[in-house]
C-alpha cells in the first residue's frame, strides 16, 4: 500500500519539480528504502510535501513507523529462528562453556 502511495507522490513530485527525470520503479524503491533506513529521509519528505501538500508528512511518519516495525519484527524472527535450531547444552565447568563459544565463533 505504501509503495503505491509512494509511486503516486513520486509522480506528482516529478511533474511539479523535476519533469526532466524519467519515472522508474527502482527510483521509488530507492526512496522507500531511503526513508526506512532513515538516511536523509527528511529531504525526501520535504520534497514530497512541496510537491503535494503538508499531509505528506503524515504519510512519511506512518511509512517510517510501520516499515521499521515490520523490519524489526523480521530481524527478531531471524534471530529467534537461528537460536531455536541450536541444541541446549549444559556445561559442567566454565572452561567448557568458553571452549564451545570459541568453536561457535570459528565455525
Is the predicted pLDDT of residue 53 greater than 60, yes or no? yes
Sign of the C-alpha dihedral, residues 14, 2, 41, 74?
negative
d(CA 38, CA 61): 11
d(CA 10, CA 28): 7
Is the predicted pLDDT of residue 80 greater than 60, yes or no? yes
Q: Give residues with Cβ within 8 angstroms of 100, minimum separation 6.
A: 89, 91
The whole-model pTM stands at: 0.54
Place of cell 506528482: 12
Residue 23: the pLDDT is 60
Domain that holds residue 48: 2-106
Total count of domains within the chain = 1
Q: What is the pLDDT of residues 88-106, one digit of tens each?
A: 666 567 667 777 778 777 7
Stretch 67-84: mean pLDDT: 85
Amino acid at each position: 500500500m505504501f509503495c503505491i502511495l509512494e509511486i503516486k507522490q513520486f509522480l506528482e513530485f516529478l511533474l511539479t519539480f523535476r519533469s526532466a527525470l524519467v519515472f522508474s520503479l527502482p527510483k521509488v524503491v530507492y526512496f522507500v528504502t531511503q526513508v526506512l533506513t532513515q538516511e536523509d529521509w527528511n529531504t525526501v519528505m520535504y520534497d514530497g510535501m512541496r510537491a503535494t501538500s503538508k499531509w505528506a508528512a503524515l504519510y512519511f511518519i506512518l511509512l517510517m513507523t510501520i516499515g521499521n516495525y515490520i523490519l524489526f519484527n523480521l530481524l527478531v524472527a531471524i534471530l529467534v529462528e537461528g537460536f531455536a535450531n541450536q541444541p541446549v547444552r549444559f556445561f559442567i565447568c566454565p572452561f567448557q562453556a568458553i571452549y564451545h563459544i570459541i568453536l561457535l565463533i570459528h565455525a
